[in-house]
């Protein structure tokens, strides 16, 4: 299949074709990639900044892409894996609307099991010398702590497991971190069941999964409605190494939008979306 639920647009979430996930190397590579998407303003222009953290045998890597509201790439900066290179630097770029500066310091960054740093780093993006995005807990050597105005609108993460799949997320631009766990045993099970837990509490259970391999359900997290979408077609009917897709989506109030739309095709679902690509580990 191609398209995930239409709420994320025709060009939004796509499930990998089974032929593209026929080897264990694809799953192992996929788990080492996390992308966070932030909505910000470059003067009067509404833009999206995608920050992708990667991890491979050569070390950690970083990519920053800035797109305008028309999905046109304004600039892209790739920081190659730094096993044999410096982990601190900056880049100044001329774009059609002005000057963009990107600086980072990951020389003392500490990581968990995934490619995204936990602490000991900073990443800053500035437009015409004004901060538009500032990540990390280190401010020394960067800009002073300011409210950049950027809003986290999406996070995409690849996770690998056999029966249990876990991730951590805020499920919004603000708030505490939550433990998200997905449980689904499709091996030698005649009638698979899908269970979703948040902070160890079961919030969703889907029985007769072969008939309900795609769907959506609303749950409450901290009193906020979160729409959960799932597509496990590849798990049940595709290649054994295929991936399922899950999306946890919240919506923001109309007054927060202030009439702005960051993408035409996503105008009806502006909010925060956690997208998990769940890959089954080889038996």
**Nearest by Cα to 60 from 43, 79, 39:** 79
pLDDT in tens, 169-227: 887 555 688 999 999 988 777 889 999 999 999 999 999 999 999 999 999 888 888 99
pLDDT surpasses 80 at 163: yes
In this structure, are residues 157 and 276 in contact, taking their beta carbons and an 8 Å threshold? yes
Domain range 6-31+153-280, its CATH number among 3.40.50.1010, 3.40.50.970, 2.10.69.10, 2.40.128.180: 2.40.128.180
The answer, yes or no, to whether residue 39 has pLDDT greater than 70, is yes
- What are the residue boundaries of the structural domains of the chain, listed by start? 6-31+153-280, 38-150
Least confident segment among 24-28, 42-46, 271-275:
24-28
| Mean pLDDT across the chain | 78
Cα atoms in the Cβ-side hemisphere of radius 13 Å centred on 85:
13
pLDDT tens-digit readout, 41-76? 887 788 999 999 998 887 888 999 999 888 888 889
Q: What is the mean pLDDT of residues 83-104?
A: 83
Cα R_g (the chain), whole angstroms: 19
- pLDDT band for position 148 (50/70/90)? low
pLDDT at 10: 31
């Amino acid at each position: 299949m191609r398209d995930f639920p239409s709420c994320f647009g025709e060009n939004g979430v796509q499930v990998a074709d089974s032929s593209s996930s026929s080897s264990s190397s694809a799953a192992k590579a996929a788990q080492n990639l996390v992308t966070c998407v932030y909505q910000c303003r470059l003067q009067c222009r509404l833009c999206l900044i995608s920050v992708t953290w990667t991890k491979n045998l050569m070390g950690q890597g970083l990519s920053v892409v800035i797109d305008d509201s028309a999905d046109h790439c304004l600039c892209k900066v790739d920081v190659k894996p730094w096993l044999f290179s410096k982990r601190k630097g900056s880049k100044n770029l001329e774009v059609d609307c002005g000057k963009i500066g990107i600086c980072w310091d990951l020389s003392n960054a500490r990581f968990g099991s995934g490619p995204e740093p936990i602490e000991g780093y900073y990443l800053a993006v500035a437009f015409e010398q004004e901060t538009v995005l500032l990540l990390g807990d280190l401010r020394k050597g960067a800009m002073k702590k300011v409210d950049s105005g950027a809003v986290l609108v999406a996070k995409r993460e690849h996770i690998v497991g056999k029966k249990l799949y876990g991730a951590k997320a805020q499920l919004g631009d603000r708030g505490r971190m939550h433990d998200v766990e997905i449980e689904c045993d499709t091996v030698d099970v005649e009638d698979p069941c899908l269970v979703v837990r948040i902070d160890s509490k079961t919030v969703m259970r889907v029985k007769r999964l072969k008939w309900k391999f795609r769907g959506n359900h609303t749950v409450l997290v901290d009193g906020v409605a979160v729409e959960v979408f799932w597509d496990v077609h590849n798990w049940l009917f595709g290649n054994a190494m295929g991936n399922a897709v899950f999306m946890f989506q919240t919506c923001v109030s109309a007054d927060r939008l202030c009439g702005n739309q960051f993408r035409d095709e996503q105008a009806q679902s502006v909010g925060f979306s956690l997208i998990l690509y769940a890959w089954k580990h080889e038996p």
